[in-house]
Structures are given as C-alpha cells and as structure tokens.
Structure 1
Amino acid sequence: MSTLPIVCLALGDFYGLGDQYVSRMYEMLGRHCDRPFQLYCYTDRARRLPAAVETRDCAGWSELDRPGMRTTTRKLGLFNPAYLPFEEFLYLDLTLVIRSAMRPLLEFATGSDKDLVIVDDWHHEGYNSSVMRIRPQPLRFVYDAFVAGERYPQKVLGDQEFLHAVIARRGAQARVDLFPAGQVISYKQAVRTGRRDPGLARRMVDEAVIVKFHGEPRMHEAFDPFHHFWRIRLRDWAHGRWRSPVPTRELKREWLGGPGRQA
C-alpha cells in the first residue's frame, strides 16, 4: 500500500501552541490511520515537531495575502501543484480531534473519482475546508483565480467562501464530492444540539470520525476545566442538563493521547 501524504498548515503564533497542536495531530493519526502515511507540516516559522513530521516552508506564499482576508486564506496555496508536489493528498486542519478509526473516511476520500472531496458546511450553503482530499493539478484554477485578483461577495473573508464561489463560477461542481454526512462534525453544533436533543448529540459524536473545533472554543479552551465550566457546563445547567450529552472528556482523552482529567 502506498504512503498517504497528509498535510497540515501551522501559520503564525497559533495561540502559542502551534507545535503542540501539530504533535498531537501526528499522535492521533498514529492511533487512527491504519495505512502508511507521511505528515507534512507547511509552516511559516521554525517549529519543534516530532522527527517523523516533515516540515516545509510556506512563508513565501505571500501572494495569498490580501487586505482584510483571514490567515486561513493561505489554504488556497494547497491548490498550487508547485507547492504541493503530490498527485493527491489529504488535508487536515489542526483544530480537530480524530476520535475513531479513519478507514471509512479514507476509503471514501481515496475512492472518489472527483478532484476535490470536502465537508459540506454545517451552518450555510458552501464548503467547510477543515478536511479535504485534494488533487492539486486539475484544481490549480482555484489558486490562479485568487492570485489573478478575482473577488466574490463573502460574508467571511477567507478561503472557504472563495473556494465555493470560484468552483461555482466555473461550473466545476461536478468535480467535487462531499464527505458523507456525519463523518466530520462540528463540536459547537453538537453542544448546541445537546441542549434540545441529548440523544442526537451523543449519536453525532459516537458516529463521527472527526470532530472539528471551529471559532470558539478551540481544543485547549474546551478541554480546560475552568473554561469548560464557565462557558459550557453553566449553559447546560441553565437548560436543565446536569450531564452533558457531548462526551468532552472522551474527546479530551483522544487529543491528549492519555487518560486526561475530566473536563
């Protein structure tokens, strides 16, 4: 079986925890990816990472900087085959927890004949780019369009809405596959769902391969006992839920790679 390239981006200070987030990503992959893989960390600064993680410099991707755009806009560099010399690769955000065996997700991603496999966004029409299987050569038009100065109406000035818009403008939707619903879920959505339907929230997490932490809180916040109490548990109690249906303790254990304390 060939080695699967897996790519992550570690840009900027990243809460002062970038090295830790990359290292924990590598450890989660070691537990849950049952095929040979190589993790490539594209970063704009020197980092102290496990020796098995291959570091590549993306500090020179400055053509992707545009006033007002979020740092995540640099994800559009993933669609430049000169930067990513792989026929295809799996991209993973650092702000997620891999909670179970990746086989069903990888089988779908690598088995699809589409150039892009991506998450259907949980909140509005469009894509969520936290998990992607990318074939950069046929998708180079995404990168080229941004560098050429193309602009689209965006509520959030980052990579996701631009990616969705440029694919729609070129009528390239048939080149995109969506991961099956439930394989990649939103932690925030699971918490909110738990306040009206605890059983559904628990099933969402149990059936997910990956739980994405978007916006606030990030993992180091959600898994901090003080933050978890004041920002999550008090709201649960206000809704009459004395036991959270979202197993934050289990997710914390996956992220830490050990027993972990109860959140």
Structure 2
Amino acid sequence: MPVPMPVFTVFSGRTYAPVYVERLQRMLARHLPEPHRLTVLCDAANRPAMASLGQPHRCLEERGLQGFCSKIQLFNPALTGTEPFLYFDITLVVRASLAPLLRAAAAEPAPVIGVRDWNYPTLNSCLMQLRPGDATARVWQAYLEGEDHGTPGPNQNFIFRVLRQHAPGALAFWPEGLVASYRGLRKRARRDDAAAERARQAACVLKFHGRPRPHEVLRPWRHPTQTVLKNPGRPDLWAYLAGDITEHWLLS
C-alpha cells in the first residue's frame, strides 16, 4: 500500500468551532485523490476537542503564538517531520478535485509553494506545500532568533520576507485561479457575473478570509453586516455561493 501523504491544518484560538476541522477532513476525503492522513496542530485548549473527534493531532509548542500566528510552527521540523506535506487552512471550502493542485506540486521543485495573495504583493499561506529542508527550517530559526522583518507577528508576511532574504528562489506560487478568494469573487460578481462564474468554475478551493465565514453566508440575515449590508441592492449576493458551501462544506 502507498504511504499516505502527510497533510496538516492548524486549529488555534477560539475564533472557529471544532466543526471547521471536521468539515475540512471530510472535504479532503472527498476531493484529495491521493491517500493521505490529516493531522491537526492544535493548542492545549483545543486538544480535548480534537481528541473527542478522534482526529489525529499534535500539540503546538508553547511559544506565545496564538491564532493564525501559530502557523509559523509548520516550519518546525520537530513538529511536522521531514517528509513533504500539504497544509490547508480550516477556513477553506474545497469545491472540486485537488488533482490539478497535486499535478502543479509535482512539477514545481521549490521547497515552498503557496498562494499569491489577492490584495498585496506577498504570500497568502492558506494552502501550501512544504518540502522540509534548509529553506523551511530557516523560517523557524528566524522566529526563534527574533528576527525583525517589519511584520506585527510571525504571519505570512514574515514567512515571505524570511524566504526572500535567506532563501531566494525557495518560494513558488500555485497556478493562478486554483485557489480563489470568496470576497474577491463576490466583488467581481457585482460588476460581471459571467467573469465571476468562470473564475469560480476554475477554482478547486475557495478561501474565506476575514468575514463572512462559510456558516454566515448560509444564514445572511443572522449576520447582516457582512452579507446583506455589504450589497444592499443585490439580494443575489447576500448568500453568494451558498450552493457550493452547502454541497462541499456543510454536507461533505
């Protein structure tokens, strides 16, 4: 039997409920065609929830890292090992087969592959492949040594700037369009529904960053500030892409 591909996610803080991890696991089971094993990197407060779900997990190190900043520990080989792995945020909706992503990963030799951010000239770390080695370990070492890279914390900008300084060429990006910003698609749909639909169809993954979150889109009147009031004259956008969320996130 083939060795399952290592896959990680991070569950830290109280922003999201444990069901987000469970739904990610179900979406990967449905859409990731390679045998794989999802392991949750969680803080001590969330470890009981992962144990109750029966979800394989490892405890994040206690280093003052909270929430999304905990993601920097993906670069700690003592925690994630030495085998290449995929990382998925729990705020993703996987809406189609990830086979195109796996093909892109196989063809790209860079140690780190991530999403080119939709709004800024930097890395978006919501979905990455890491091939552990000197370049990835340098990111973790930079954090331990307290390097200042002009960021408010060890977030995705920190990763981007460490790699740019210490390992030029170590970072590559997924082919454009495989991972789509939910908010970006909704904004595009205000101007051009057809273009937004083409972009949606091309995407394997929808990234929910900031608000709304997937469960809020399904109940827009319970969360009007990020749904109804964002597009008061466009009722069709209040529950934008609720069909994808229902089919692939809610019912996976």
Normalising by structure 1, we get a TM-score of 0.86
Q: Quote the residue 2:200 is aligned against.
A: 205
1:187–1:212: 8 Å Cα contact kept in structure 2? yes
Q: Which of 113, 116, 119 is the equivalent residue of 2:115?
A: 119
In structure 2, C-alpha distance between the alignment counterparts of 1:212 and 1:129, rounded to whole Å: 11
1:142–1:166: 8 Å Cα contact kept in structure 2? yes
Q: How far off its partner does 1:177 sit?
A: 1.4
SS at structure 2 position matched to 1:62: coil
SS at structure 2 position matched to 1:249: helix
1:147 matched to 2:124: no
In structure 2, C-alpha distance between the alignment counterparts of 1:207 and 1:227, rounded to whole Å: 30
Pairs within 5 Å for 1:27-106 = 27-44=26-43, 45-48=47-50, 50-51=53-54, 53-58=55-60, 61-63=61-63, 65=65, 71-106=67-102
1:257 matched to 2:238: no
2:217–2:240: 8 Å Cα contact kept in structure 1? no
Report the number of matched residues: 245
Q: Quote the residue 1:261 is aligned against.
A: none
Q: How far off its partner does 1:228 sit?
A: 6.0
Q: Which runs of 5+ in 2 are unaligned?
A: none
One-letter identity of the residue aligned with 1:7: F
Provide Cα deviations, 1:59-100, integer angstroms capped at 9, x if missing partner. xx23353xxxx6312211111111111411000000010000
In structure 1, C-alpha distance between the alignment counterparts of 2:197 and 2:29, rounded to whole Å: 25
Normalising by structure 2, we get a TM-score of 0.89
Q: Quote the residue 1:20 is aligned against.
A: 19
In structure 2, C-alpha distance between the alignment counterparts of 1:168 and 1:132, rounded to whole Å: 16
Q: How far off its partner does 1:198 sit?
A: 1.3
Q: Quote the residue 1:3 is aligned against.
A: 4
Q: How far off its partner does 1:109 sit?
A: 1.7
Q: How far off its partner does 1:250 sit?
A: 2.2
1:118–1:131: 8 Å Cα contact kept in structure 2? yes
1:243 matched to 2:236: yes
Q: Which runs of 5+ in 1 are unaligned?
A: 259-263
Q: How far off its partner does 1:242 sit?
A: 4.9
What is the CA RMSD across the aligned residues, in angstroms?
A: 2.0
